Amino acid sequence: MKQTPSFRKSEIILTGDRATGPLHLGHYVGSLKQRVSLQSVYEQTILVADMQGLTDNAHNPTKVSSNILNVVADYLSVGIDPSQTTICLQSQLPALAELTMYYSNLVSIARLERNPTVKSEIKSKGFERSIPTGFFTYPISQAADITAFKATLIPVGDDQLPMLEQTNEIVRKVNNLAGKKILEECRPLLSKTSRLPSTDGKNKMSKSMGNAINIGASEKQISKAVKAMYTDPGHLKIDDPGQIEGNIVFTYLDAFHPDRQYVDGLKSHYQQGGLGDGTIKKILEECLQEMLRPIRNKRTEYLNDKAQLINILKQGSALARENSEKVLFDVRGIFGLNIF
């Protein structure tokens, strides 16, 4: 799958986030920044994926419901503008569930089992045979999300590439059945930092594992996370030469520090020896505090006005509902079901 698209004159952008926790810096560099810069150029829809969030949380649904407005506040606080971007709630768009039902007839169990992202999620969640059907089939529901808007460009992290591949397979099958182009194939839009490592350097950054810095993190939380960050375990004395590779502090400096040259200078100093972990952590902390302070303040303001957040979501959902019905009508038609 081609991973760096050149932009076309017109693109339809769609993306989503599971509403299972507040968004973190991984989302910020992986996708949110791109959404902010593209919203004034292209048509853009963002789904708060509550139904996908439930696929592995049905027995603990408040984990999803209590995070819906947090995610909306995260969007607004980083600069997503509801007058340019349609922000909607997945469960409020019945066409998505219906499309999922039709598409599921076109996807085999064997194909679902081959999806590497789902495979590793099943393993890490320890599901084995007790995997919920909804979780196993969520790539089909994600294909419904994407195709319902005829989206062409999907800003996501690289763990989502298998979902887009599966989406395009469904698109081709539907178009083949129709004998004409009804659905659009999509391309991923990956960022330079498409996967930010967790602060402990061990795992994928996760909303649940406490190894991520949330967009709305408090000053104290940021400070604590940076202090505990994984560096170079072999760098015992300040004068020792240090390693950059795998050193999370430098990975974060690369991702967030505005001054490239300054970071390059720090890197060579660190490699030569004489630059302490405490110093680089202090520099990173300052940079993150400065970047996140205004975001946090806005986020708090938004969360203090829940009625406004609900209103934004309600209006966006009404618009998206109408749009998604058109594709549903076409897909139903392929199966000969538009008889009245």
Per-position x/- string for 98-137, each x denoting binding to ligand TRP as judged by CB under 6 A, each - no binding: ----------------------------------------
- Candidates 142, 191, 199, 231; binder of ligand TRP (CB under 6 A) is 142
Distances (CA, A) of 59 to 46, 49, 86, 132, 327: 26, 17, 30, 11, 32
End-to-end CA distance of the chain: 40
Whichever of 146 and 287 has its CB closer to ligand TRP, that residue is 146
- Residue 199 and residue 241: Cα distance in Å, rounded? 22
> How many residues in the chain?
340
Q: Where are the beta strands (DSSP E) in 85-141?
A: 85-89
Decide: is 88 part of the binding site for ligand TRP (CB under 6 A): no
3-state helix, strand, coil in the chain (%, to 5): 55, 10, 35
Q: Which residues of 283-315 are buried (b: 16+ CB within 10 A; e: fewer)?
A: bbbebbeebbeebbebbeebbeeeebbeebbee
Per-position x/- string for 32-51, each x denoting binding to ligand TRP as judged by CB under 6 A, each - no binding: ---------------x-x--
Whichever of 100 and 231 has its CB closer to ligand TRP, that residue is 100
Decide: is 86 part of the binding site for ligand TRP (CB under 6 A): no
Decide: is 156 part of the binding site for ligand TRP (CB under 6 A): yes
Whichever of 21 and 82 has its CB closer to ligand TRP, that residue is 21
- By CB under 6 A, the residues from 5 to 24 that bind ligand TRP are 14-18
Shortest distance, position 15 Cβ to ligand TRP, whole Å = 4
Shortest distance, position 243 Cβ to ligand TRP, whole Å = 31
Whichever of 144 and 275 has its CB closer to ligand TRP, that residue is 144
Q: How many binding residues for ligand TRP (CB under 6 A)?
A: 14
Pair 203, 209: CB distance under 8 Å: yes
Helix and strand counts by DSSP (H, E) for the chain = 16, 5
Distances (CA, A) of 129 to 107, 111, 163, 239, 309: 19, 17, 22, 53, 39
- By CB under 6 A, the residues from 48 to 67 that bind ligand TRP are 49, 52
Q: Which stretch binds ligand TRP (CB under 6 A): 123-131, 139-147, 187-195, 297-305?
A: 139-147
Q: Which residues bind ligand TRP (CB under 6 A)?
A: 14-18, 47, 49, 52, 142, 145-146, 154, 156, 160
